[in-house]
Amino acid sequence: MIRLLVAFVSGAVFTVGLAIGGMTRPSKVLGFLDVTGRWDPSLAFVMGGALLVTSIAFRFTLQRRSPVLDSRFHLPTERSIDARLAIGSVMFGAGWGLSGYCPGPALASVVTLAPSALVFVGSMMLGMLAFEAFETLRARQSSRETLLAQQSPAAS
């Protein structure tokens, strides 16, 4: 129960920070991304502040043996850059640049019922469902191929 409460409070603080920083306003984000037009550099301070706090907090946090509410840290182990990562990054950047939303601020904006936020989050959810379906099919195909290879006379 305490973990859910901490998660909720953390999400609420994050949401308020996004709203105060202007990250939930697509016009503000698009103004920041428009470096050749009417560039609005104010979000650089928001991002810079977030990087500063994170870099300091991570230094102290990772010195602990484990997190306060878990038995271990869940840090990424994969270090390679592959096609899936590159394609996902391009899709993320394109979505952000075209809409002015990235996933966190879009979810925070859903409560406003702004049509642009609802369309973005709906599209994001459809994309996530499509990805899961694709991954499930890919895993089944791989399992089927492995099974067939094991059963073929050449494998004996």
- What is the C-alpha to C-alpha distance for residues 64 and 73, in angstroms, rounded to an integer? 9
Structure letter (DSSP) for residue 36: T
- What is the C-alpha to C-alpha distance for residues 48 and 126, in angstroms, rounded to an integer? 32
Residue 114's CB is within 10 A of a number of other CB atoms, namely: 16
Token representation of residue 5: 């409460």
pLDDT in tens, 57-67: 999 999 999 99
pLDDT in tens, 18-76: 888 888 899 998 998 888 988 999 889 988 999 999 999 999 999 999 998 999 999 88
**What domain count does the chain have?**
1
pLDDT score, position 150: 81
Which pTM does this prediction carry?
Answer: 0.72
Total count of residues recorded for the chain: 156
**Structural domain for 25, as ranges:** 2-155
pLDDT score, position 5: 95
Token representation of residue 7: 């998660």
What's the half-sphere exposure (Cβ side, CA atoms, 13 Å) at 76? 4
For residue 153, which amino acid is it? Answer: P
